[in-house]
Amino acid sequence: MKTTKKTAEEVKPPAEHEEEKLEVEKDIITEIPEEEAATRLERKFDMLAWQPKTSIGKKVKSGEIKSVSQILDEGQKIMEMEIVDALLPGMNQELLFIGQSKGKFGGGQKRIFRQTQQKTPEGNKPSFSCQSVIGNEDGYVGVGYGKSKDTVPAREKSQRNAKLNIFKIKRGCGSWECGCKTPHSIPFMVEGKCGSTRIKIMPAPKGKGLCIEQECAKILKLAGIKDVWSKTFGQTRVKTNLVTACVQALKKLSTTKTKPEHEELLGIKEGKLHQ
């Protein structure tokens, strides 16, 4: 029997299949944009050029309101991000890795943008979502979510919403292993839930560090918390739900009522410590 050797052109699959494959995957972004290289962002604020539009903003510029606590304690809502820039200068910002780039078996690199697509008769319509966290590492923190058809507007929306959603937390030393009465951890255990994701944050002794998921650790660090234990339940791969549950748990630190004797025993301090 005679055997014939096939040439490279005969072995190569037909070009039609390649075109179909490209047609399906042409809208999927595989490269990480350059704007994701630095997650810490800085923005300069000019107090003199600011033209406030709300009554709270006008009081801040005139000097009637001198701290964010005056606004938050009265239950008023912040409608201008310049209010936070004026009252809390030098805030640190970070972008959370809530997305993932395309990779084999779902093992792509982490991204700050989460991409979704809508299938329409006209074609694929991609959209990008981003989540930012802002804090002074001294009792004030805020988390914002933004979504847009492009990456840069989504990032700017999330940063603006993070400033509008700023809140203060209580810190203390609630660990039975420590008892130093310094605000390095949280005073008591708190729990948050979003969807099927549930997170439990517990006080830890001094020097233990942030034993919590990486993106939640960014939030706690910017809030001024240095030592915690944590435990998660449910589907934790969806980072947006996990971050929302973490923020919900942190807000319970301020809404939970405590007795004066317990505040002295646990060393509870609320808001900014260093003037």
CATH class of segment(s) 169-270: alpha beta
Share of the chain above pLDDT 70, in %: 82
Check: CB of residue 230 under 8 Å from CB of residue 201.
yes
Is residue 33 very low, low, confident or very high in pLDDT (cuts 50, 70, 90)? low
- Residues forming a β-bridge with 168: 140
* Position 137 pLDDT exceeds 80: yes
Q: What average pLDDT does the chain have?
A: 83
Q: For the CA atoms of the chain, what is the radius of gyration?
A: 24
Query: Taking the domains of the chain in order of start, what are their residue ranges?
Result: 53-87, 169-270
Tokens in use for 134?
Answer: 């802002």
Separation of CA 219 from chain center: 7
If you average pLDDT over residues 56-84, what whole number do you get? Answer: 91
Q: 135 to each of 25, 42, 95, how far by Cα in Å?
A: 39, 12, 12
* Position 83 pLDDT exceeds 90: yes
- Tens of pLDDT, residues 240-261: 999 999 999 999 998 888 888 8
What is the pLDDT at residue 164?
A: 94
Is residue 22 very low, low, confident or very high in pLDDT (cuts 50, 70, 90)? very low
- Residues forming a β-bridge with 140: 168
- Beta-carbon contacts of residue 48 (< 8 Å; ≥ 6 apart): none
* Position 48 pLDDT exceeds 80: yes
- Tens of pLDDT, residues 206-220: 999 999 999 999 999
* Position 23 pLDDT exceeds 60: no
Q: 123-135 and 113-120 as β-strands: parallel, antiparallel, unpaired?
A: antiparallel
Nearest to 255 by CA among 210, 183, 190: 190
Check: CB of residue 241 under 8 Å from CB of residue 247.
no
If you average pLDDT over residues 129-144, what whole number do you get? Answer: 94
Share of the chain above pLDDT 90, in %: 56
* Position 1 pLDDT exceeds 90: no
Q: Is 192 exposed, middle or buried (0-12, 13-18, 19+ CB in 10 A)?
A: buried
What is the CB neighbour count within 10 angstroms for residue 243?
Answer: 25
